[in-house]
């Protein structure tokens, strides 16, 4: 059984809003009868109870959105199942990890992205979607951070990578190397980690990225329990034909499949 949670939040997106509409777009593809629900690894997500949808977090003016997200993730995890969160922009990963860490004293983050998202502050906003992994590492919310597909590193990022001991596989160096994972894994997928040829509907498309196949291969190669995941930065306003939503839903299915041991082999 896998939990789903929508996080329709894009207030801290620096350049372009719109990713708050992503959870609905991804669910529409997931449940469309145009696509099957059996993963490549033969897990049937259409089986009764396979996916439990906790709906979307509701934001209000009188509750800090980070508190709202942390509370909702904490509640979803208390059900005892791995959780896939649907962003929203990448800023949401910080409050998600505040909740995940309470449940997992050992935790490695595998982070797929064009960007390291390690800015100390961006546009005067420490909660910017350019900053979540700086906040996560400062607060000790993971033991290891492994980034794959990165291709926008400036000297400030290099300093932050060294400061936090981040393990980086830049896109130019990624050859499917073993990650040597030990213990629970949290997987954070920024869709701009994929090349814009595969996932164009993102606020910051960056050429030279991973293929959909390479990202699925990374997911399927994770040989430790995946206790949580997020898929972020889909911007439906840039996705008139829904092509990127289809990619997001495909990754959701394969992540869920990697969370559940195969049953149909
Ligand atoms: Mn990101
Ligand atoms: Mn990014």
Residues with C-beta atoms within 5 A of ion ligand 2:
113-115, 190, 192
Ligand whose nearest atom lies closest to the CA of 194: 2
CB atoms within 10 A of CB 12: 24
CA of 77 to the centre of ligand 2 (A): 26
Instruction: Answer whether 253's CB lies under 8 Å from 39's CB.
Output: yes
pTM over 0.95: yes
List CB contacts of 179: < 8 A, sequence separation 6 or more: 110, 146, 221, 222
DSSP bridge partners of 185: 108, 226
Ligand nearest to the CA of 209: 2
Integer angstrom CA distances of residue 229 from 33, 109, 210, 249: 25, 9, 18, 13
pLDDT-based confidence at residue 77 (cuts at 50, 70, 90): very high
pLDDT at 265: 39
State the DSSP code for 58. Answer: P
CA 18 to chain centre: 17
> What three-state secondary structure class fits 122?
strand
Rounded to the nearest whole angstrom, what is the distance from the C-alpha of residue 10 to the centroid of ligand 2?
14
Q: What integer pLDDT is reported at residue 11 of this predicted model?
A: 94
Residue % of the chain over a pLDDT of 70: 98
């Amino acid at each position: 059984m896998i939990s789903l949670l929508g996080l329709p939040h894009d207030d801290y997106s620096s350049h372009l809003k719109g990713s708050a509409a992503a959870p609905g777009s991804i669910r529409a593809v997931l449940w469309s009868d145009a696509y099957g629900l059996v993963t490549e690894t033969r897990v049937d997500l259409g089986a009764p109870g396979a996916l439990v949808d906790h709906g979307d977090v509701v934001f209000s003016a009188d509750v800090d959105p980070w508190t709202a997200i942390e509370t909702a993730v904490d509640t979803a995890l208390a059900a005892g199942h791995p959780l896939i969160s649907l962003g929203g922009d990448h800023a949401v990963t910080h409050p998600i990890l505040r909740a995940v860490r309470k449940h997992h004293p050992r935790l490695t983050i595998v982070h797929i992205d064009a960007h390291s998202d390690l800015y100390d502050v961006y546009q005067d906003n420490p909660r910017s979607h350019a900053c979540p992994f700086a906040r996560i590492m400062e607060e000790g919310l993971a033991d290891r951070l492994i980034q794959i597909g990165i291709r926008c590193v400036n000297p400030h990022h290099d300093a932050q990578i060294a400061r936090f001991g981040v393990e980086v596989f830049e896109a130019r160096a990624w050859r499917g190397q073993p990650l040597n994972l030990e213990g629970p894994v949290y997987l954070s997928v920024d869709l701009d980690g994929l090349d814009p040829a595969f996932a164009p509907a993102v606020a910051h498309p960056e050429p030279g990225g991973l293929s959909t196949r390479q990202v699925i291969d990374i997911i399927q190669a994770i040989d430790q329990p995946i206790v949580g995941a997020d898929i972020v930065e889909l911007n439906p306003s840039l996705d008139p034909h829904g092509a990127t939503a289809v990619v997001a839903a495909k990754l959701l299915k394969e992540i869920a499949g990697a969370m559940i041991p195969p049953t149909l082999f």
